[in-house]
Structure 1
Amino acid sequence: MTGGTGEGPRRIGRPRADRLTEPRGRPPREELLCAAAELFTVRGYAATTTRTVAERAGMRQATMYHYFAGKEELLAELLESTVAPSLGLARRLLAETGRPAAERLWELCRSDVLLLCGGPYDLGALYLLPEVAGSRFTRFRRMRGELRGAYRALLGATPIGAELAGDRGALALRNDLVFGLIEGVMLIHRYDPARPVAAFAEATADAALRIAGVARDADPAPAGAGG
């Protein structure tokens, strides 16, 4: 799935397993991002230097600076690439008002898990870096905030969302629990990385809806649907 969002990286989407493990021959910018994804998650962001990233990508440090100004720019683009595809899907799902909101919320949860678990590196762990609070990552935080808001909008459009419409705190809490489960999925996946990702994604989406108090088949049929 591609982003198509107008946000996020221009030349690389979410680093996927097939991209990170294929033989070299990628464009230099993508090669650097793949190298950074590996080093930041395996060795640690603080322990990784720009020289190390360049060497891992098969180029000199001076060459790397033609594509990225430094580690922060590499990290920012990687982080944005983890959100852009899901944000693109979320925008499309929000527009599909003829479908039950619970069904759309389940689809977003499942797709997000597939993306988070689709590569060999836990890029979601990079969200916890203290550096992410800096101004260089404002765009990433805005994108992530919009995605979180899309989850809340879909939850709010379900029957339980209508029931909680007068209790914004309760609705926000349920949304935070759902969003937290999805973003924390790599911590669960890490215990059994050989688990089939498709089945794991569906089970996680099912669990997310249960946490939210949403029955996937409880939405009324769209207006004008036959009965």
Structure 2
Amino acid sequence: MNRPGRRVGRPRAVRTGPDSGRPPREELLCAAAELFTVHGYAATTTRAVAERAGMRQATMYHYFGGKEQLLVELLESTVGPSLVAARRMLADAGRTAEERLWQLCRSDVLQLCAGPYNLGALYLLPEVRGERFARFRRMRSELKDSYRALIGATEAAACLAADPAALALRNDLVFGLIEGVILIHRSDPDRPVEVFAEATADAALRIAGARR
């Protein structure tokens, strides 16, 4: 589920509106996801987020301290589910590393394609380098490290043990493929997501030099 220079990422929100029936907090996050990715973070005001969610600005401040807190929670939500899956795969000693890597790639792609917005484009914001986003950066780094651990445990990695740079490159390529998958999927949104996820996982294993 690395980093500078790729406008890619892990969308988690769906289109919002005052009649969606969501709890107010979720409504605000969905509104922020849409506005931040469509109009830009700097150009979006807290008033615009509140109005898009169908509530007053004062009500928004009851749930969030401001625009930065909205961004923090959105970004963490893009990585959290994939990180949970990665930890589960690392702890699963009953399957080969190749099988676990394939399953992680597949589940990650299914998560990525679950929503319409490319929140990963927000990873490049200068604000994300601030202290408020330190937890998000740690989460994303742990996710990438999980991919690296699984790739390093495959049989194909044994022949590269003396070349850590080659292993690091394979990890970067696999992780880049997975995080960039939303851009590919959006070019053909009618393609069955399950088939797309499995094909992407197959491609990731080939990049890693592994076989399922």
Cα distance in 1 between the residues matched to 2:168 and 2:18: 42
TM-score (norm 1): 0.84
User: Quick one: higher RCO (CA 8 Å, sep 6+), 1 or 2?
Assistant: 2
Which sections of structure 1, spanning at least 5 residues, go unmatched?
1-13, 217-227
Percent identity between matched residues is 76
Superposed, 1:146-157 pairs within 5 Å as 146-157=142-153
**What does residue 39 of structure 1 align with?**
35
Pair 1:91 & 2:87 matched: yes
Does the 8 A contact of 1:124 with 1:186 survive in 2?
no
Q: Deviation at 1:168?
A: 1.2
Are positions 1:104 and 2:100 aligned together? yes
Distance 1:71 1:16, change over 3 A: closer
1:210 paired residue number? 206
3-state DSSP of counterpart to 1:166: coil
Output the TM-score relative to the length of structure 2: 0.89
Partner of 1:24: 20
Question: Any unmatched runs of 5+ in structure 2?
Answer: 1-10
**1:67 corresponding residue in structure 2:** 63
Q: Which amino acid aligns with 1:96?
A: D
The one-letter code of the counterpart of 1:79 is L
Note if 1:183 corresponds to 2:186. Answer: no
Aligned residue for 2:8? Answer: none
Amino acid at match of 2:84: G
Deviations 1:193-212 (A, max 9, x none): 22221111111111111111
Hey, what does 1:15 align to over in structure 2?
12
* Distance change in 2, residues 1:20/1:204 (3 Å): farther
- For these two proteins, the number of residue pairs brought into alignment is 202
Aligned equivalents of 1:94, 1:122: Cα separation in 2: 27
Choose between structure 1 and 2: higher helix proportion: 2
In the TM superposition, what is the alpha-carbon distance from 1:113 to its structure 2 partner? 0.8
Deviation at 1:166, TM superposition (A): 2.0
Distance 1:118 1:185, change over 3 A: same
Distance in 1 separating the partners of 2:192 and 2:122: 24
Alignment RMSD:
1.7
Structure 1 consecutive aligned stretches of length 4 or more whose deviation exceeds 4 Å: 19-23
Query: Does the CA contact (< 8 Å) of 1:112 and 1:182 recur in 2?
Result: yes
Equivalent position amino acid for 1:109 in 2: C
Separation of aligned partners in 1, 2:182 and 2:66? 27
Given that 1:116 and 1:124 are in contact with CA atoms closer than 8 Å, whether structure 2 keeps it comes out as no
- Over 3 Å counting, the alpha-carbon distance change for 1:44 and 1:30 in structure 2 is same
Distance 2:129 2:180 in 1: 19
Give the one of 106, 120, 123 matched to 1:124: 120
2:196 to 195, 200, 220: 200
Instruction: Tell me which moved more, 117-126 or 49-58.
Output: 117-126
Whether contact under 8 Å (1:38, 1:121) holds in the other structure is yes
> Counterparts of 2:195 and 2:41 in 1: how far apart (Å)?
31
CA contact (8 A) 1:20 1:119 kept: no
Name the stretch that deviates more: 190-199 or 175-184. 190-199
Equivalent residue letter for 1:205: A
